[in-house]
């Protein structure tokens, strides 16, 4: 596949940015015509980059996952290992409803979401592994936790928060319970004898 020219790359990036904002605001039912209007381009320009709406949704979802991985790296650099994992955990939970809506719309259209996002998902898992390792080395997260369980906990917590939608205080308490369960404590399985709030 021939690489895009610089102006075409800018147009594609702009379309993705607008599409993400429109889908987040109006839901995944928003049309490609709406996105073209918001981006101030013709519908043919949208279809030149994204032949179907599903291709556009997929590109937006991949972009969100890539950005999450980049944010994880930034948090490691800026906050350090004792705080970065929990900050990333919160970031994932906050962004989950929109991401799940994209994934559901693609699945409904018959798209294999796991295959479509495999590369971005792999980068995200690598960042999660680095965040977990850093937190365990710092003694703030239990040592018997591994990436598969942490991923499952993240997914499960996202689902739990969907169930508590409209109950912000209950959601806040539930998040606190999950965070507390991740922390290392003296005398507990995987505990390190240190505790950070």
Span 9-37, mean pLDDT?
A: 90
Same fold, 1-51 and 64-182: no
64-182 has CATH 1.10.357.10 classification = yes
Say what the pLDDT of residue 191 is. 52
pLDDT in tens, 144-168: 999 999 999 998 999 999 899 889 9
Cα dist from 53 to 36, 47, 116, 184, whole Å = 12, 8, 14, 45
- CA neighbor of 9 nearest in space, from 43, 59, 54, 66: 59
pLDDT the model gives residue 190? 52
Query: Considering only CA atoms, which of 42, 71, 74, 55 is closest in space to residue 16?
Result: 55
- Model confidence pLDDT, tens digit, residues 37-82: 999 889 999 999 999 999 999 999 999 999 999 999 999 999 999 9
Decide if 35 contacts 69 (C-beta within 8 A).
no
Listed in sequence order, the residues at least 6 apart from 77 whose beta carbon sits closer than 8 Å to its beta carbon are: none
CATH 3.40.605.10 fits 1-51, yes or no: no
Domain positions in the chain are 1-51, 64-182
Show the DSSP H helices in 53-80 as ranges.
Answer: 53-79
pLDDT over 50 at 142, yes or no: yes
Give the number of C-alpha atoms closer than 13 A to the C-alpha of residue 8, restricted to the C-beta side: 9
């Amino acid at each position: 596949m021939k690489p895009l020219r610089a102006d075409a790359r800018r147009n594609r990036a702009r379309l993705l940015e607008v599409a993400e904002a429109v889908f987040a605001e109006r839901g995944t039912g928003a049309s490609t015509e709406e996105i073209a209007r918001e981006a101030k381009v013709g519908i043919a320009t949208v279809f030149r980059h994204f032949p179907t709406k599903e291709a556009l949704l997929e590109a937006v979802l991949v972009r969100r996952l890539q950005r999450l991985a980049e944010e994880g790296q930034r948090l490691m650099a800026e906050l350090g290992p004792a705080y970065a994992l929990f900050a990333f955990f919160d970031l994932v939970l906050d962004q989950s409803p929109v991401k799940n809506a994209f994934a559901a719309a693609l699945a409904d259209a018959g798209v294999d979401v796991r295959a479509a996002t495999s590369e971005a998902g792999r980068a995200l898992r690598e960042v999660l592994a680095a965040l977990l390792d850093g937190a365990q080395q710092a003694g703030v997260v239990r040592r018997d936790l591994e990436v598969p369980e942490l991923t499952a906990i993240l997914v499960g917590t996202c689902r739990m928060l969907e169930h508590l939608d409209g109950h912000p205080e209950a959601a806040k308490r539930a998040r606190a319970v999950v965070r507390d369960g991740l922390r290392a404590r003296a005398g507990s399985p995987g505990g390190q004898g240190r505790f950070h709030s």
